[in-house]
Amino acid sequence: MKKLPYSEGSVFLVPLQDGGYARGVVARSAPHGKVLFGYFFGPRLESDRNVDTSALRAEEAMFCIRFGDLGLIKYYWPVVGRIALWDRTKWPMSETVRRGGLGAPKPTLVRYADDDPSQIVGEEVLENDRDLPSDGLAGYGFVEAVLSKKLA
């Protein structure tokens, strides 16, 4: 099996649609890759050179999401470093909410395994969604679009 170009704690760049880059951190990876959980950061970087990774903190992320690793595997998203003294407890998995449309059941809280963001370990019906992130799995194009909009 080919070695993955990332691991937990890897810092990578996400190219934005109108130029520049955002930064991302791999916080969790499924055992054989493919499904990741990450944190994403502004401000927009104009260059992919001399990227500072020292000030990244989970609590300062613009958003976090489960996403596929294709952008990293295809090297569209270059890995530029690693969080020094990586401590996964400082980069927790967030709970998410599965929301339905009109006439759908109430929102459902979804929890994933701390060591595998592809494995659901619990679900709970909620009265309201508590403004938690939406459940789902984002592709790299979706992540690029969201970051481009947030950093416009």
Beta strands in 91-150, from DSSP E residues, in sequence order: 96-98, 108-113, 116-125
Residue with tokens 């903190």: 57
Residue 57 dihedral angles phi and psi, to the nearest 5°: -135, 140
Domain boundaries, the chain: 10-92+136-150
Per residue in 31-58, pLDDT (tens digit) is 988 999 999 999 999 999 999 998 899 9
pLDDT band for 99, please (50, 70, 90 cuts).
confident
Here the tokens at position 45 are 């970087």
At residue 100, the pLDDT reads: 73
Here the tokens at position 49 are 């050179």
pLDDT band for 120, please (50, 70, 90 cuts).
very high
Q: Work out the average pLDDT over 60-65.
A: 94
Question: Which are the contacts of 86, defined by CB distance < 8 A and separation ≥ 6?
Answer: 8, 9
Question: Residue 83: is its pLDDT beyond 90?
Answer: yes
pLDDT band for 1, please (50, 70, 90 cuts).
low
pTM score, two decimals?
A: 0.92
Here the tokens at position 21 are 């880059």
